[in-house]
Amino acid sequence: MASWIWIGLIALIAGFAGGLAFAVVRALAAWRTLRGASATLSGGLQRVSDDSAALTAKLEALSSRSERLQTALQRLAVTRARLNVLLAAIGQVRAGIARVTGIVPRKG
């Protein structure tokens, strides 16, 4: 009967040691995975930071170009207004010439 107790005790100790070894192996694997993920996450965050800095610089340049575009559009509006005035004057001159040439007989 005492031998069954010793066999049970040895099985209990072996099971405990096996469970502890399994838990240690899993904990080490989790630690390695966490370290690798931390390095990957750190690199990813650095890339995001660099990209956001580049984006900020591009947005500032775009803002500057937008101001130049607004100035150019205002100049274009003034120039188009002048062109419309000149086209109206040319139209009036052509209408006057057409009235004069309409009166003059043609050789036919």
What's the pLDDT tens digit per position in 56-66? 999 888 888 88
Q: What is the pTM of this model?
A: 0.43
Q: Structure tokens of 77?
A: 């509006």
pLDDT tens digit string along 64-83? 888 889 999 999 999 999 99
The C-alpha atoms of residue 101 and residue 57 are separated, in whole angstroms, by 64
| Mean pLDDT computed over every residue of the chain | 89
Pairwise pLDDT comparison (38 vs 53), residue with the higher score: 53
DSSP three-state, residue 108: coil
Q: Which amino acid makes up residue 51?
A: D
> Tell me, what's the pLDDT at 43?
83
Q: Structure tokens of 67?
A: 């101001």
Q: How many alpha carbons fall within 13 Å on the CB side of residue 39?
A: 5
The C-alpha atoms of residue 79 and residue 71 are separated, in whole angstroms, by 12
Q: How many alpha carbons fall within 13 Å on the CB side of residue 38?
A: 6
Pairwise pLDDT comparison (73 vs 38), residue with the higher score: 73
